[in-house]
Amino acid sequence: MRITTLNCNGLRAAEKKGFSSWLARAGPDVLCLQEVRAEETDVPAALWQPQGWHARWHPAAKKGYSGTAVWSRAPGETRFTVGTGHERGDGEGRIVGVHLPELDVWSMYLPSGSSGPERQAWKFEYLAHVMPWMRERITSGRPTLVCGDLNIAHTPMDIRNAKSNEKNSGFLPEERAWLSELVSLGWRDLFREKNPTVQAYSWWSQRGNARANDVGWRIDHIWATPGVQVERVWIEREAGLSDHAPVHAEITVG
């Protein structure tokens, strides 16, 4: 089974850059999208309810902002869950999941705190809410994947300029400790598990030729519970759909 996650930085913008053609080539069985920035009336019906897919969207209440989606090719009726019960987080469309016979797959978009102290405080609030939710997922024993833009680079291997970013949102000690706590609970960072010595990135600033110079951050993740076996994980750096790159994982369950 191939799982793919992408922060599309606006689905309408990504479609103009070839999203549908890319999707046909990439061939995931489950697709997790973040920052879709769209409602049903904003995109063609072929994107909102794509042929051959079961799709569930979690748009933000604020038009043109945030939002997640999860698409599945699984046959038959498919069950989804929208949100986690956190009023502000659900209002921003932060989490949506699909429940397949063999596993659950969640598309998650954690807030960025880079615009200032108020946003960083909101990010910490939401991280505090999500941690027990993650703990519940792993203690249930149900094979589960959490995929998406977590807006955190975990270690110096996951960011080009670690030292100069130690006081910046996305690489703060408290944020990195949050990911380390996931590891202590038994969650697995699948990219790092399969690529232990690879320094690769999934997001680049749109300023200062960051992408051309590969000055990036690995903030787009696929995390798994122990019941998931992983064959390979890779970042599709050249997809050209967004300031983020798609991340793919080939997995088996059982």
217-247: pLDDT as tens digits? 999 999 999 999 999 999 999 999 999 999 9
Task: Give the pLDDT confidence score for residue 193 in this predicted structure.
Answer: 98
Mean pLDDT of the chain: 97
Task: Give the pLDDT confidence score for residue 76 in this predicted structure.
Answer: 85
Task: Give the pLDDT confidence score for residue 152 in this predicted structure.
Answer: 98
Residues 112-145: pLDDT tens digits?
999 999 999 999 999 999 999 999 999 999 999 9
* pLDDT over 80 (residue 254): no
| Confidence tier at 35 by pLDDT (50, 70, 90) | very high
Backbone φ and ψ for 111, nearest 5 degrees, come out as -65, 155
What is d(CA 21, CA 2) in angstroms, rounded to the nearest whole number?
17
Provide the residue range defining the domain that includes 60. Answer: 2-253
Residues marked active site are found at 149
Q: Are 238 and 15 in contact (CB under 8 A)?
A: no
Task: Give the pLDDT confidence score for residue 157 in this predicted structure.
Answer: 97
| Confidence tier at 33 by pLDDT (50, 70, 90) | very high
Q: Quick one: what percent of the chain has pLDDT higher than 90?
A: 97
Residues 57-86: pLDDT tens digits?
999 999 999 999 999 999 888 999 999 999
* pLDDT over 90 (residue 155): yes
Give per-residue burial for 11-42: e unless 16+ CB within 10 Å, then b: bbebbeeebeebbeeeebbbbbbbbbbbeeeb
DSSP string, 16-52: HTTHHHHHHHH--SEEEEE-----GGGS-HHHHS-TT
| Confidence tier at 212 by pLDDT (50, 70, 90) | very high
Which residue is it, tokens 């369950």? Answer: 253
- Structural domain count of the chain: 1
Residue 88 parent element (H or E): helix 87-91
Checking DSSP bridges between strand 144-149 and strand 104-109, what pairing results, if any?
Answer: parallel
Domain with residue 71: its CATH number is 3.60.10.10
